[in-house]
Amino acid sequence: MRYRALGRTGIEVSTYCLGTMMFGTVGNPDHDDCARIIHHALDHGVNFVDTADMYSAGESETIVGKALHGRRDDVILATKVHFPMGEGRNRGGNSRRWILTAVEDSLRRLDTDRIDLYQIHRPDHTTDIEETLATLDDLVRAGKIRTYGCSTFPAEELVEAHHAAARRAVSRFRTEQPPYSLLARGIETDILPVAQRYGMGVLVWSPLASGFLSGRVNRDTVDLTTGRAALTPHRFDPAIPANAAKYDALEQLTALAADLGRTLPELALAFTQAHPAVTSTIIGPRTMAHLDTALKGAELALDDATLDRIDEIVPPGVNLYRPDGAWRPPALTDSTLRRRPHADRAAA
> What is the set of active-site residues?
55
The percent helix, strand, coil of the chain (3-state, each to 5) is 45, 15, 40
Q: Are 173 and 236 in contact (CB under 8 A)?
A: no
Separation between Cα atoms, residue 2 and residue 299, nearest integer Å: 7
Phi and psi, residue 5, nearest 5° = -70, 135
DSSP three-state, residue 120: strand
Closest CA to 14 of 341, 269, 240: 269
Bridge partners (DSSP) listed for residue 14: 3
| Vertex 307 angle, CA 320 and 183, to 5° | 15
C-alpha–C-alpha distance, residues 138 and 132, integer Å:
10
